[in-house]
Amino acid sequence: MKSAWNLVGMGLWLILFIYFIWMIYNMRGRRLRLIVTQKKGFTWQNFGISMAELIVFLLVFWGMSYTTFFQDVRKLNKNNVRTSYTYKPLIVQYQADQSDYVTVKNGNGRKPIQRYTYYVEGRKYEDDSLNATVVSGESNLNVQAQAYKWNKEWLNHLDQRYQHAWVGTVTTTYKKNFFNGIGLHAGRQADRFSLIRIPDRSFMKVLK
């Protein structure tokens, strides 16, 4: 478990499950009492109580589901997330036919994605086009990368320092607090995106 705060969310889900079981038995019990005491299977008063219990359950279930499964980290208060940036130079891979910084493998299917392979500090890294982008030429940013808040002056410095061959990674992590614990996110990684910078497309090997 990334953080003890996630026990808060687990406890709330358990309470909601217990409430759901109690609600079913309560509805059934009240109906049986109506049949025994008043010889009726339906009254508006009993119907109103059941609807109130059901509405409470649905509202809490929707809130917990949204917080746990559908929460958009980009809309969260900055006090609930931590964003970090790392920058490292790319290592060129020397080959007989072509030396490259990045190898790109094109995917297939109705929604094909590209997979990028590159080396940093002697280690092999792999990303896909959903979580990374390759930028070449004069500009060190493209439309996809501009969705994140990069320090443009620092990117220009990296171009000069590493001859337009580096990778920048922005990582967003949920902070360990009560709010994130409700959605079972405390301490977990929310988003990761890599900006792969190469001098020009001749340093990119594309595999079919």
Per-residue pLDDT tens digits for 60-82: 999 999 999 988 877 777 889 99
What is the residue extent of each domain of the chain? Answer: 6-70, 76-207
Burial of 90 (0-12, 13-18, 19+ CB in 10 A): buried
| Nearest C-alpha neighbor of 121 from the set 87, 82, 145, 153 | 87
What are the structure tokens assigned to 172, written together?
């967003």
pTM above 0.95, yes or no: no
pLDDT on residue 96: 66
Cβ atoms within 10 Å of 144's Cβ, excluding its own: 14
Size of the chain, expressed as the number of residues it contains: 208
DSSP 23-70: HHHHHHHHHHHHHHHTS-S--HHHHHHHHHHHHHHHHHHHHHHHHHHS
Q: State the pairing for strand pair 132-135/189-197.
A: parallel
pLDDT on residue 206: 87
Per-residue pLDDT tens digits for 151-169: 999 999 999 999 999 999 9
pLDDT on residue 1: 63
Provide the percentage of residues in the chain whose pLDDT is more than 70: 99
What are the structure tokens assigned to 171, written together?
């990582």
The confidence band for 94, taking pLDDT boundaries of 50, 70 and 90, is confident
| Nearest C-alpha neighbor of 196 from the set 151, 165, 153, 174 | 165
Average the pLDDT over 100-109 and give the result: 87
Any idea what DSSP says for residue 93? B
Q: Of 76 and 98, which is predicted with more confidence? A: 76
Indicate if the pLDDT at residue 46 is higher than 70: yes
Mean pLDDT computed over every residue of the chain: 91
Per-residue pLDDT tens digits for 3-24: 899 999 999 999 999 999 999 9
List CB contacts of 142: < 8 A, sequence separation 6 or more. 133, 135
CA atoms in the 13 A half-sphere facing the CB of 74: 5
